[in-house]
Structure 1
Amino acid sequence: MPTKKSLVAASIALPLALLLGGCASGSADAGSSADANETVKIGVVGAGDPYWETYKDAAAAEGIDVELVDFSEYTQPNPALSAGELDLNQFQHIIYLATYNVNSGDDLVPVGATAIYPLGLYSAKYDDVADIPEGSTVAVPNDESNQARGLLVLQSADLIELEDGGSIFSTVADVLPSSKVKVEALDAAFTATSLPDVAAAIINNDFVEDAGLKPEDAIAQDDPSDPNALPYVNIFAARADQADNPTYKKLVELYQNTQSVLDGVQDASGGTAVFVKTPVKDLQTSLEAVQDDIKANS
């Protein structure tokens, strides 16, 4: 992920079509420990980001040779992992993985959390979400992934109420009449340019900088501690039979606890990353719930 836009893309996109593709290794024995010079192949999208070299150095110091396998498309790393050509991949959030598993009949699993890239609410008129007047209009992106996520942000900010509490499939049609504001769905590229005409707008991370804004300008965003945000946490993924591999657990810990790696990720993300150490059990529970939701809505 050489740019901020490519880094956050997988943390935003929700593909609902069958994901296909493939490329590159065998995995370590689940019962083994991190033997000296053990090689682990990790699939990523954007291996050119400098923090990956920092990460490889940290792993080497622990006796693990990390070989990065770079992919140009987000559709490729999961099939490659499933085929045994990778040991791990790290590029997606839980919703993306759940969609892949349901559509492919696979059972890839999360083995560790990395970060969430919050989706923000911005305003040219108000510095505090509490100041947004009742009955005013707020814009959200009209694509199904960002629309649902944006609506959940608005609900967390007490601006709207969603039918049945909302879900990853919520649309503006699910906004209850009792809500404080009205919601208008616009093309994601136009929510930023709508700011002069609306009280506030959910702006996709790809368009924040282009609009002359900074992530810290957001007056509301996903709360990583909110259960509704959990499906958007980015993860390391492995095959189900390798879920307890101690070497993979060590690699997750290195990512989560090596400050120079975290600094590099933050720099590559344009300051949008919020690092999390969500327990794997909670990640798995969220994955199963999202998969159930996808099946129920398909």
Structure 2
Amino acid sequence: MMRRLLFILLACIAVAAQAQPYPSKPIRLVIPWPAGGPSDILGRAFGDRLSKVLGQPMVIDNRSGASGAIGADFVAHAAPDGYTLMVQSMTNQLMLPLTVKNLGFDVVADFEMITQIVPSPMIIVAHPSLPAASMADLVALAREKPGALTIASFGQGSASHLAIELLMKLGAVKVNHIPYKGGAPATADVVAGHVQAGVVGLPVALPFIKQGRLRALGITTAARAPQVPETPSVRETPGLEAYDIGLMYGFLAPPKTPRPIIQRLHAAALEVLKSAEFREKLVELGLGAPVGNSPAEMVAATRKEIEMLAGVAKAAGIQPE
């Protein structure tokens, strides 16, 4: 009799545990880039507001390295229970198969897409000591001394690396590419004068531009950024009219995460993205307007971006290594 009662009690506990509403404990939010960079700045702002909507803490995990591949690989192989999520620069993730052989995961199929968060331009900046007040000046300097001009990116094979290769291709110049492990260290070394110029995310560069510690030369997307309206788009420079590359940030989960959990996360993300306070925060950070599309729309947009990036990588002469 006692055994039967114990069995019934344990069964009730198991059913109750399964019936617990999601989420019932803290959630790990992986940001595959170092602290202080654009992905980290956005991820923390988004995660902070998402935790309030979901009613559970977001534990930030800066699992950086290999241009976002280390953190992405971790999420791709995490338990699909909704307690490991990721805010990622999708543009950098989609660059990985174009630059890395034997990646170890599929950048689309090995994730559950939840929603695109926000687009962002990159910006080409220079140390104030560099005698370049414009993109035309920068190209002229690079042409004068091939391979001498140092330009930092936030990672080998990253979107900013592609931006540098595209600049060399369209400008018919050669520069010395210096890859860093994230936007924060890349920006810090340009500010310190260890590297002459850099292609970095606008959120991490914006405070230094306002302080006069970095000189803004060009926005990498077709449109100018409202946060620095006086800074022209790179494509406004003669000879660089085809230049256009930016970043898109996304919210993802491990593959095979149950549909009800994805739906709950999508609804929570939309609540964050539609709030006026968060929209104002995005502008303050140097980002664009929030997206908030459906998982299916994110998949379609992601596949379209892969095609675009493949074309740009081919034009820039980038091959997987």
TM interval, short-chain normalised? 0.5 to 0.7
1:286 aligns with 2:305: yes
Aligned to 1:254: 271
1:15-34 equivalences under 5 Å are: none
Post-superposition CA distance 1:192-211 (Å, at most 9, x none) = 5669x98xx43435677568
- Alignment equivalent of 2:51, drawn from 50, 56, 76: 56
Deviation at 1:266, TM superposition (A): 5.7
What secondary structure, in the 3-state scheme, does the structure 1 residue paired with 2:74 have? Answer: helix
Aligned to 1:297: 320
Post-superposition CA distance 1:195-251 (Å, at most 9, x none) = 9x98xx434356775685478x52312327799536x31110123445963223213
In structure 1, what residue type is equivalent to 2:121?
Answer: P
Aligned to 1:239: 254
1:23-102 equivalences under 5 Å are: 37-39=21-23, 41=27, 43-45=29-31, 49=44, 52-57=47-52, 59=53, 64-74=54-64, 75-76=70-71, 78-80=73-75, 82-84=77-79, 87=82, 89-98=85-94, 99=96
Contact 2:152 2:177 in 1 (8 A): yes
Distance 1:133 1:69 in 2: 42
Aligned to 2:3: none
User: If you compute each CA radius of gyration, which structure gives the higher value, 1 or 2?
Assistant: 2
Query: RMSD of aligned C-alpha atoms?
Result: 4.8
1:114-129 equivalences under 5 Å are: 114-122=117-125, 124=128, 129=135
Contact 1:120 1:222 in 2 (8 A): yes
Query: Which has the bigger relative contact order, CA under 8 A and spacing at least 6?
Result: 1
1:202 aligns with 2:198: yes
Higher share of residues assigned helix: 2
Contact 1:208 1:214 in 2 (8 A): no
Distance 1:207 1:51, change over 3 A: closer
What secondary structure, in the 3-state scheme, does the structure 2 residue paired with 1:103 have? Answer: coil
What secondary structure, in the 3-state scheme, does the structure 2 residue paired with 1:223 have? Answer: coil
Equivalent pairs, count: 228
- Alignment equivalent of 1:150, drawn from 146, 150, 164: 164
Distance 2:266 2:29 in 1: 16
Deviation at 1:66, TM superposition (A): 4.2
Distance 1:242 1:250 in 2: 15
In structure 2, what residue type is equivalent to 1:38?
Answer: Y
What secondary structure, in the 3-state scheme, does the structure 1 residue paired with 2:63 have? Answer: coil
Contact 2:46 2:272 in 1 (8 A): no
Distance 1:204 1:65, change over 3 A: same
Deviation at 1:291, TM superposition (A): 8.8
In structure 2, what residue type is equivalent to 1:122?
Answer: V
Percent pairwise identity: 8
In structure 2, what residue type is equivalent to 1:118?
Answer: P
1:103 aligns with 2:94: no
What secondary structure, in the 3-state scheme, does the structure 1 residue paired with 2:103 have? Answer: helix
Aligned to 1:221: 219
Contact 1:37 1:65 in 2 (8 A): no
Contact 1:139 1:184 in 2 (8 A): yes
Distance 1:289 1:86 in 2: 33
Distance 1:287 1:256, change over 3 A: farther
In structure 2, what residue type is equivalent to 1:258?
Answer: S
Distance 1:52 1:236, change over 3 A: closer
In structure 1, what residue type is equivalent to 2:218?
Answer: A
Post-superposition CA distance 1:42-82 (Å, at most 9, x none) = 5234699466443322x2xxxx4444233142334652453
Question: Unpaired segments of 5 or more residues in structure 2?
Answer: 1-17, 32-39, 65-69, 143-148, 179-185, 224-241
Distance 1:103 1:253, change over 3 A: same
Distance 1:234 1:219, change over 3 A: same
In structure 2, what residue type is equivalent to 1:71?
Answer: D
Distance 1:119 1:151, change over 3 A: farther
In structure 2, what residue type is equivalent to 1:297?
Answer: P
Distance 2:45 2:73 in 1: 23
Contact 1:43 1:86 in 2 (8 A): no
In structure 2, what residue type is equivalent to 1:105?
Answer: F
